[in-house]
Homo-oligomer: A and B are copies of this chain.
């Protein structure tokens, strides 16, 4: 009953097998190997666009490098105030951007509303004391498990571009968002105005495989140097390329994401059927954010369930977590089984029943 995160699992079998297969024989170092080249071409096909691809081992590295490619050291990078790039990376973006500043906007479900962005920009002093906005970063899916539709992405991209900013998408859960929306990778990214993408695969079945995709030529130019300089160019490039080979083969990545999303929905349906349980935000990817009675939470923990409390900063208007309640996050993964979900729900129902009886 471990729903702590989607990074607590190893690789899915096809990914691991591809890694084992790729282990044999000599290959050129530092990304000049045919496996890496093939993956670069694969990304171009998948995204229906010539795109510069930079494989890196971590999502934090991908995000920080991507932002550094679009925001100069004196610039402002804007994201939701609960974005991973603000809250969870120990200042990696500030480090890679050389002291550029992150500004965090409010927004329900960790989504940025176009009007919020516009009024923030309008309020910035037109003065050299003010760092000029140069990058906007959105998370797909968001830190509250919601997705931006292509139209929503395009609306933000429009404002960003008109204001001299480029648009970065943190796609740590790219696949989960994609299968939810049922659109193409191209529609969710460059066709909607995304300039640089952090394409995450680690959470959805790899061990350590992320890619920065630069649709913007200027950003692409600097990323080869920035990646090397950041220590994110692996000497044995096959490690990441092979994982992605297994990840993309036979649409395995989409299957993984669909499964994880389905498990989240199953979990949410079971939980919301219990008395006193409601969702803080809709389930649109592979994360469930129930507001639980504290007593239920305690019983679940006692029964061995593992999950984390969550922040209340981005609740919708009118919603609030009472003192006898707790807002938590449950994450499903590519390998979460129906049995695991059902086992958790059974425990939850028993706990609720016991609670009612007390």
Contacts and interface: CB of A to CB of B under 8 A. Distances in A.
Nearest to A98: B98
A238 B71 CA distance: 33
A101 interface: yes
A131 B213 CA distance: 22
Interface residues of A, number: 73
Contact of A27 (B8, B89, B92, B208): B8
A51 interface: no
Interface in A215-229: 222, 224-229
Contacts of A11: 23
Name, among A20, A27, A57, A239, the residue most crowded by chain B CB atoms within 10 Å (CB to CB). Answer: A57
Contact of A26 (B8, B19, B89, B98): B8
B10 A231 contact: no
A58 B233 contact: yes
Nearest to A25: B10
B25 A90 contact: no
A117 interface: no
Contacts of A61: 230-232
A202 B235 CA distance: 8
Given A62-B231, A101-B102, A129-B228, 9 more contacts: A30-B128, A60-B233, A73-B229, A89-B229, A91-B229, A92-B228, A95-B230, A98-B98, A207-B238
